[in-house]
Each structure stands twice: as C-alpha cells, then as structure tokens.
Structure 1
Amino acid sequence: MTTSDPAERYFTAISAALGGLDIFLRDDRSPLYRHDLVARVMAEYIVRLENSFSSWKNRLGFMDAFKISRAESGYPVFQNVLELENDRRQADKRLAAIPEPEVLRAEMADFILRHRAMPDALRKSMAERLYLEQVSSGQVFAPFILPKTIRVSVNPKTGRPIYVVHWAAFDGSANLPLVYMATVEDSSDNVVRALVGKDGKLNESVPIPLPVEGLLNPDLAHRFDDFAEKNSAYTLSPATIAGNLDKDFDQLHPKQLRRVVLGPFYSAGITEHNSTVADVLAKVRRVENAWLLTWTIQEVFSKAETPARRGLFSSQPAREEFHINTDDLEAARQGVSNYERHALIPHEAYQVLYAAGEAQKIFAGYKVHIISNGQVISDV
C-alpha cells in the first residue's frame, strides 16, 4: 500500500491519532493525568485499539474486505470487530494449518528464483500467519471486554467495601469504542465481614491481588459480567445504566459511573461526517497530521442514598438518588451529572483550521489539545 491508497492513509492517520492520545494520557500536564486512575485505564484500552488496527492492516494482506463508518463515527464498522474476535478464537487452529514463517520464506525465495515472479499465494499465507499470531495474543478491542476490579477501599461512613471496576464495549450501532468505569459499594454480609477490619478499614490480612478479573465479590461476579454486557449500549444513558445496576443488585450501590466515548474520528479524504472539517483537513500537507480525534467523558454520580426499610410485611433495599444536571440542557439530554468534550489534533492541522477561520466554530464546547513535537498543549 502507498500513501495514495485510501486504506493506507486511514491506517496512517488513526495510528497517529491513537499514538497522540497515548501521549496525552501519559503527559503529567494533561487534564486526564490528574485523574491517574482514569488515564491508566484508558491507556490499557488504547493499546487494545492500536493492536486491533494493526491487525486489520495486516489482514488486508490476504483479505480485501474492510469497511469504516465514513459518515458517522470514522471507526471500522462493527462487522470488522466481530470478525477480529472470531479470528482470535480460531487463531490456534488456523495457525496449525499454515507452515512456519521460515518454511514460507524459503518457499517464497525458491518460487522467485524459479519463476521470476512474486508468489502471491505464499505471500498471502505469510500475511495471514502474521495476522493470526498477532490476534492470538487476545489484546484487541473485542465487542465486549469483561469487567476488571482495579481498586478496593472502605467507605468510613458506611463501613462498606468500595470497588473501582472498568469494562469496555464496541457499540455495534454507533460503531464507537466505549469505556466504562464504576465506583460501587458492596453491602454483602460475607464481603463486609471478610474485607472490613474491626477498625473500619480495609483488612490488610486478606490478600487482594489487584487487578482482579471481574467483580471482586465472587457471588456476584458472573451476574455483574452479564449485567455489564447487556447494559453497555451507547443508546443507554449513564443514568439509565447506573439506575439499572442499582435496581438489579440489592447489595451493590453504584456511587459513580463514568463513560468515555472514543470518537468520532475524522480523517482527510476518508471520513464524511463533517464537510467543514473534511474540507480543511484536506489542505493539511502531511497525511499523518490530517486528522482530528474527539471523545466525550460522561459522568453520573449518586447525590444521596435512600436507606433500606425492613418491616414485617415488606422491605425495601437501599437505593441511590442520581444527580442529573437539569440546569444544563445538554447534560440533561445525555442523562449525566456532568460531561466534557475533548478534541485532539496535530499542530499542523490546527494551524490550517485556524488560518481558515474555522477553529472557533468547530471547537465550540470542546477542550482542545494539540500534539506538537511529542508534547501536549491544552486549553488553547
């Protein structure tokens, strides 16, 4: 592929964008770095996305089918994500049927010497082998990525353990990667007895090898996995997801739910979801700088908890009251307590937008971050 090839231009641009986002996440001057846990979680999923795009690029060496959501998200369509996951599961079986790399290289060299031509079939076998070896690692962005507990503490006011859990999904309708983080208190008697010491603090004699796959509470872990998978759609507001979690688990009390919507992504000559952005990015000289990546951080938190009621004839478990910022129409529409919109753009592209007089209109309501010489410049 050459830079004139649309696929090569797209992969070059998205690789640069994800690399820039990784720089932003790790920069101690960036806004997200102040929330170190958020930055660390996001960095993990950025690696998965980078591996996915690298795999898709390798897949083009033996398969021609690859589609992106040009008019909406700018990401690959969901079918590509499903195929990647299916190939990951079948990788070992398929690899067993393909000769080892050194065997393929020897056969390719022999073919070239004897026929004075490129061995297309062998070349495709080599490309497929490299692709399958990469996806077999499992570190790609799957349709759904199971929850993981990464932090445990105790709320001194309630005496309950607190978990910080994250998971992710690639939404099939919006074609967008979504990352979720939840802060949840657990009032299960067995967990409280095991994790909370007599001093009201975390019982340090109980080993917790963080991160833990799934919810830390083993009795609820499978149910929580199922819940997360069924409640990760982009069409569900954070308030709806948090409310469903509160209703479905009497012993779990969601205090905060954060969702990061990674996109849309804009690439010159490829995406079509904003004609103004497309026209301006087309004027950027270097392909690796002709992109714009946006993301939205949505958050809903509990403002109060209605205490449990126990009576002779009926009982009611504790329930959360979630704050929705009705003073902000957009926050109310999104079903969140607050939200932030961010945009990441190379310095060269930002200069072109600014010179065209479009920067202020395009970035209205966004926190803008510019990548320049491997550094992040924010709040421009």
Structure 2
Amino acid sequence: MSINQIVTPLDSAVLETKEQYKVYFKIVTHAFEELVKSIADKRLCSEIEANFVKQYCELITYSLEAFRIKYLYDDEEKMRIDLTESGFPNYLEFRYLYNDLELRQQHIGKLPKVEELKQEFLDTLLKNKRPIPERRLQQAASIIYYSSVERQYIFKRFVQGKIVELGNNAEAPYLISWAFYDVTHNRPFICFMYFDLYKEKLEAYRQRIYQVLEQTADRNMDLDMMAYAIDKRLPKLLPKKIRKIDLGPLHNVFAKDELIVTHTVLEAIIKKTLDLSAFAVSLRMDETVSTGDFAEGNFFSKQYLQVWAPTKVSTYLLAPHRVIQVFYDNIPEALHELTQEPIEISALKLQNGA
C-alpha cells in the first residue's frame, strides 16, 4: 500500500446528532440524483457514458442509504465526513461498511429475533402507551442494516465495469469504464477508455485488461500519466481516448474545505441568505486522445506507444437557482473560469425536523 492510500480518523469530522444525519444524507443523496440527471440532460457525456455514470452513482447512493440506516440509532459510533476538498463520507466509512457485511451472520446472531422485537414494539406502543427505548430502536435499525444491505452493491475503492463493443467506431471499437474512490481526495471518480486491440482476441485479453486497470488506474492522477501507464502495461491494447470524471467536491453546510465556493455557501447560510439545505456540486472532466504513436525499446523488444494530445479540462458547477444568484453576487470571477455558465438544478426543501 502506498502512502497516498493511508487514511486516518484525523482526516475527518463526525456527525454527532440524528438531525445532522438526516440533513446530511438528504443533501448528499439529492445532490447525486441531480448530478446524474444533469449529466444526461445537458449532454455533458455521450449517452452510453451517461448510463454508466448513472450506474456508478446508484452504487454510491445505495452506500449512503446503508450509512444512514447504520448510524441513525447508533449512539456509540459516529460517521466521519472528510475535511479536505470532498464533502463526502471519509473512505474509511466505505471500508468499515464492507467489513461489517462480511461478518453479517455474526452480528445478526447477537441481535433479538425479528418477531420478538415486533411484538415488544406493539406491546410498548399500544398496550403500555410508551415510546420505544432508544436501545431497541438501535437494535431494530441494526437488523434492517444487516439483513437488507447487499455487499455487492456497496461502492468499493475500485469498481470495474465491463467491456462493451461499439458497433459504430472502427478506430476504437471497444469501451471500458471503471470507478474508484480516491483515498487522498475522498471523492468518487469515473473513467472511460475507448480502445482497439492489435492481433489479439478480446476474450483472451479481457482479464489482463481488468488486472492492469486496477493496478495502474485506481487513484486520481494526471490523465497523461494514467494513459501512459495503461498503454505501457498492455502492449496488445491500443487506447484511443481516455476520459476521467471527478464527481465533486460537494459544497454544503457540512463541508470544511478552503474552497471559495464552499466558503460562499457557508457565509450565506450564516447570514440567512441561504437555507441550511443549500448546496452546490463541482464537476470536472479531463479528456485526452491519441494523435499517433511512437516506438520504444530496441529491435528485439520494441513496443508502440500512443502519443497523447494535451489534456482538455472542462469544469462545471451545479447548484439551485438561489445559490447561483449568491455566487454571481459574491464570486463572479470564479464563475467566469468555468467551461460554461453554472447549471441550475432543483433545490432541496427540508421540512421542520429535517
């Protein structure tokens, strides 16, 4: 494990109350739903890429719901939110979640039987007219958590997508996608690579491709470095275009980074200009394409590698209408640096008591 993959609890803050949990999960889930919708509606990606983005984001929102169930009534453990430019749960939370589910049966065996708990709840509410004790609510939430959450739907540090064949792209007839949760930035990233094969059948090379991607492209790095690493390790693969999507940071009341967008949101919330539910999402897309190739090595071990064009960077900011107004009033110069005008998305309305 490299030093960049080491994370500690000191890198995060905690959510202390149930009210904080409710608000946080509603903001993050709503933000992801709006992000996926906008990527498709605004055609920030191709249709097939947008479909893959939707699938990866569904894994993230599923994981968030698992976090919500896990921590809602747990008075002993608190969920950690990343302190750096993220706004998302610390990577440790995903790892703990995955480890929990590996020990599912052991945890369930220590909890009361479902029917016994149901009967006790009915007696307490209907016969005794008393509220359910917190301890019992915590046990009920744990039963739901361990019995309903499926490990295969949790967003892992590296998520491998399948290779698909493109019928209308002769130069790059294959597309592969993958996603990862970068442990340095504590944010999810999604990548796409369009490629061809040189004197090799896909089935014979498929597992090798998956193996190399997980070894060389499982963390955030400059796209030209990622492209070269993949190209170097896969001599029979001819990559033609690689795209990396950075989903975040998420700017909201729980974020603690030094970004100007986050500070503008926080200041407006403090001044009551914006509601507690105000948020914005940054989105960045890096793309590079092959412009040719060059030979590396000697006559007996020659390998042709791709020549990559300078990385094209596109930056976007998504936020509700009122938040965008605050940005134009306070940080117009930051908005001018975006690839296009801020993208308006639906606001989140929090009811009393969240």
Q: TM-score, normalised to structure 2's length?
A: 0.81
Where do residues 300-379 of structure 1 align in structure 2 (5 Å cutoff)?
A: 300-306=288-294, 314-324=300-310, 336=311, 338-354=312-328, 357-366=329-338, 367=340, 368-372=342-346
Give 1:229 deviation, angstroms. Answer: 1.9
2:43 to 15, 31, 41: 31
Q: Counterparts of 2:63 and 2:294 in 1: how far apart (Å)? A: 44
Secondary structure of the 1:32 match is coil
Q: Give the equivalent residue in structure 2 for 1:174.
A: 185
Q: Counterparts of 2:115 and 2:249 in 1: how far apart (Å)? A: 41
Name the aligned partner's letter for residue 57 of structure 1. R
Secondary structure of the 2:289 match is strand
Q: Give the equivalent residue in structure 2 for 1:261.
A: 246
Q: Give the equivalent residue in structure 1 for 2:85.
A: 72
Name the aligned partner's letter for residue 229 of structure 1. E
Question: Are 2:121 and 1:108 equivalent residues in the alignment?
Answer: yes
Q: Give the equivalent residue in structure 2 for 1:287.
A: 276
Secondary structure of the 1:74 match is coil
RMSD of equivalent CA atoms: 3.0
2:99 to 86, 94, 99: 86
Decide whether aligned partners of structure 1 residues 343 and 129 sit closer, same or farther in structure 2, where only a CA change above 3 A counts: same
Q: Give the equivalent residue in structure 1 for 2:54.
A: 43
Give 1:97 deviation, angstroms. Answer: 5.4
Q: Counterparts of 2:231 and 2:157 in 1: how far apart (Å)? A: 24
Structure 1 portions without partners, runs of 5+: 192-216, 325-335, 375-380
Give 1:181 deviation, angstroms. Answer: 0.7
Secondary structure of the 2:152 match is coil
Give 1:40 deviation, angstroms. Answer: 1.0
8 A contact 2:98–2:151 mirrored in 1: no
Q: Give the equivalent residue in structure 2 for 1:327.
A: none
Q: Across the two proteins, how many residue pairs are aligned to each other?
A: 325
Q: Give the equivalent residue in structure 2 for 1:232.
A: 217
2:66 to 43, 51, 55: 55
Q: TM-score, normalised to structure 1's length?
A: 0.76
Give 1:188 deviation, angstroms. Answer: 3.6
8 A contact 1:72–1:264 mirrored in 2: yes
Where do residues 138-157 of structure 1 align in structure 2 (5 Å cutoff)?
A: 138-153=152-167, 156=170
Equivalent pairs: percent with the same residue? 20
Secondary structure of the 1:8 match is helix
Q: Give the equivalent residue in structure 2 for 1:378.
A: none
Decide whether aligned partners of structure 1 residues 130 and 342 sit closer, same or farther in structure 2, where only a CA change above 3 A counts: same
Give 1:82 deviation, angstroms. Answer: 0.8
Provide, for residues 90-112 of structure 1, a one-character-per-residue CA deviation record: whole Å limited to 9, x for no partner: 33554465456444222222345
Decide whether aligned partners of structure 1 residues 13 and 62 sit closer, same or farther in structure 2, where only a CA change above 3 A counts: same
Q: Counterparts of 2:144 and 2:302 in 1: how far apart (Å)? A: 56
Name the aligned partner's letter for residue 73 of structure 1. S
Q: Give the equivalent residue in structure 1 for 2:143.
A: 129
Question: Are 2:205 and 1:220 equivalent residues in the alignment?
Answer: yes
Give 1:267 deviation, angstroms. Answer: 0.5
Give 1:186 deviation, angstroms. Answer: 1.2
Decide whether aligned partners of structure 1 residues 269 and 219 sit closer, same or farther in structure 2, where only a CA change above 3 A counts: closer
Decide whether aligned partners of structure 1 residues 344 and 155 sit closer, same or farther in structure 2, where only a CA change above 3 A counts: closer
8 A contact 1:168–1:178 mirrored in 2: yes
Give 1:155 deviation, angstroms. Answer: 5.9
2:25 to 2, 11, 23: 11
